[in-house]
């Protein structure tokens, strides 16, 4: 496990502001279930056996950048990626503007941008394209990050914190956007694709990190990648888009493999699970949340904010954990919080936050 701590490493970064954004189409889970039944009824013999996945996902509604009927027709890679570019920029512009305005900071004051996304391809990168929307300085440093998947919210925040620590006083803008719904492939009859249809939503988040100003302190972070685990989670590249890779063993892996990694991470700073006031976990799915509650020794239902984000927004990949953090901050996060997410690699990311709460 690689762990970065603020012990003697320089000034401590703070999360000065955090904002989230969702696209305009709100879709109820019941509507998605009925649509999926119509989509697959004539092509998947056991579709009725798979439909309970929609009822058991812990999701009531999600947001999408496209209306539900748009997904009924086969769509090619180029068309999907065009929609990704257009809608990702719209969401990032909204999230970034709300974030900067909330802490009275202008785009021209931003010194560096870390942009995380794994649901589309952009060259020039999304942050470069965002320069046409917001007046960033021409010398603003840019770090686009692709491939972290669901771990991107935590590990992206860690990369932004590292940049802020390396340049004391600099303002680092973290941008995260995932349009998971666009990865749906109408011709893919695999169980993984149908399960993804029951889980995925779209969303974006933006955070400002600096060693100056107010906000929770980002005190340490770390990650662990398990060897020989590339098949657990990720994408395949198909002619009609990105194909989802999900192992059914993810909940079991979380419960069996995460505890010793978590213990080592916390022990590096002389802490244990009992020292954590708030667990800010990525809501990968209902069974994963149940496994995380056992790992973190919470009662069932104890990860309240994680469950609420899954219920209201679905799984938005990297963006989800920042929605959980926003909700936790609004509710009062306590003195010590731990963010965690799991992503392709198979990788676990951790980031510790501290506040001055009594």
Domain-terminating residue out of 168, 195, 210: 210
Query: Quick check: is 197 in a domain?
Result: yes
Query: Quick check: is 2 in a domain?
Result: no
Domain count, the chain: 2
Co-location of 242 and 183 in the same domain: no
Co-location of 336 and 231 in the same domain: yes
Query: Quick check: is 7 in a domain?
Result: no
Co-location of 266 and 181 in the same domain: no
Domain-terminating residue out of 170, 191, 210: 210
Average pLDDT rounded to a whole number, residues 150-171: 96
Catalytic site residue from 65, 99, 103, 150: 150
The packing angle between helices 286-295 and 304-313, to 10°, is: 170
CA pair distance 164, 172, nearest whole angstrom? 6
Contact between residue 121 and residue 94 where contact means Cβ atoms under 8 Å apart: no
CATH number at residue 56: 3.40.47.10
Closest CA to 77 of 36, 120, 129: 120
Co-location of 28 and 173 in the same domain: yes
Q: How confident is the model at residue 189 (pLDDT cuts 50, 70, 90)?
A: low
Q: How confident is the model at residue 56 (pLDDT cuts 50, 70, 90)?
A: confident
Co-location of 53 and 194 in the same domain: yes
Catalytic residue flag (residue 180): no
Domain-terminating residue out of 175, 210, 245: 210
Query: Quick check: is 8 in a domain?
Result: no
Q: Which domain holds residue 332?
A: 216-354
Query: Quick check: is 23 in a domain?
Result: yes
Helices (H) and strands (E) in the chain, counts: 11, 14
Co-location of 155 and 36 in the same domain: yes
**3-state secondary structure at position 242:** strand
pLDDT at 193: 73
Looking at the chain, list the stretches that DSSP marks H as alpha helix, in order from N- to C-terminal side.
29-40, 47-50, 52-55, 77-102, 126-130, 152-166, 191-199, 250-267, 286-295, 304-313, 320-331
pLDDT at 42: 67
Bond prior to 167 in cis (omega within 30° of 0): no
Say yes or no to pLDDT of 9 above 80. Answer: no
pLDDT at 4: 55
Query: Quick check: is 79 in a domain?
Result: yes
Co-location of 149 and 296 in the same domain: no
Query: Quick check: is 186 in a domain?
Result: yes
Contact between residue 183 and residue 242 where contact means Cβ atoms under 8 Å apart: yes
Bond prior to 298 in cis (omega within 30° of 0): no
Average pLDDT rounded to a whole number, residues 199-208: 95
Summarize pLDDT for 38-51 with one digit per residue, the tens.
Answer: 877 766 666 677 77
pLDDT at 8: 47
Co-location of 144 and 240 in the same domain: no
Q: How confident is the model at residue 299 (pLDDT cuts 50, 70, 90)?
A: very high
- Residue 58 CB burial class (10 angstroms; 0-12, 13-18, ≥19): buried
CA pair distance 92, 95, nearest whole angstrom? 5
């Amino acid at each position: 496990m690689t762990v970065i701590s603020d012990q003697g490493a320089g000034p401590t970064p703070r999360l000065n502001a955090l904002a989230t954004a969702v696209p305009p189409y709100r879709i109820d889970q019941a509507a998605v279930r009925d649509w999926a039944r119509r989509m697959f009824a004539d092509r998947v013999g056991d579709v009725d056996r798979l439909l309970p996945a929609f009822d058991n996902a812990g999701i009531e509604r999600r947001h999408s950048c496209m209306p539900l009927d748009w997904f009924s027709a086969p769509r090619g890679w180029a068309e999907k990626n065009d929609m990704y570019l257009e809608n990702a920029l719209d969401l990032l512009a909204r999230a970034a503007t709300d974030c900067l305005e909330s802490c009275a900071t202008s785009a021209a004051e931003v010194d560096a941008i870390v942009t995380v996304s794994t649901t589309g391809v952009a060259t020039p990168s999304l942050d470069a394209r965002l320069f046409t929307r917001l007046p960033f300085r021409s010398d603003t440093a840019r770090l686009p990050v692709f491939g972290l998947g669901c771990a991107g919210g935590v590990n992206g925040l860690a990369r932004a914190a590292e940049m802020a620590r390396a340049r004391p006083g600099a303002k680092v803008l973290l941008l995260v956007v995932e349009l998971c719904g666009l990865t749906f492939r109408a011709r893919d009859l695999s169980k993984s694709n149908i399960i993804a249809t029951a889980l995925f939503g779209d969303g974006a988040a933006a955070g400002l990190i600096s060693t100056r100003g107010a906000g929770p302190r980002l005190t340490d972070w770390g990650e662990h990648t398990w060897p020989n685990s590339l098949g657990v989670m990720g994408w395949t590249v198909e002619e009609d888009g990105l194909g989802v890779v999900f192992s059914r063993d993810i909940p079991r892996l979380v419960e069996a493999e995460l505890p010793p990694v978590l213990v080592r991470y916390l022990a590096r700073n002389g802490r244990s699970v009992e020292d954590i006031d708030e667990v800010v976990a990525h809501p990968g799915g209902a069974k994963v949340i149940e496994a995380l509650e056992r790992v973190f020794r919470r009662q069932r239902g104890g990860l309240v904010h994680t469950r609420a984000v899954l219920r209201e927004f679905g799984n938005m990949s990297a963006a989800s954990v920042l929605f959980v953090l926003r909700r936790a901050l609004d509710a009062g996060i306590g003195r010590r919080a731990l963010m965690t997410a799991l992503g392709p690699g198979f990788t676990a990311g951790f980031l510790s936050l501290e506040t001055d709460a009594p």
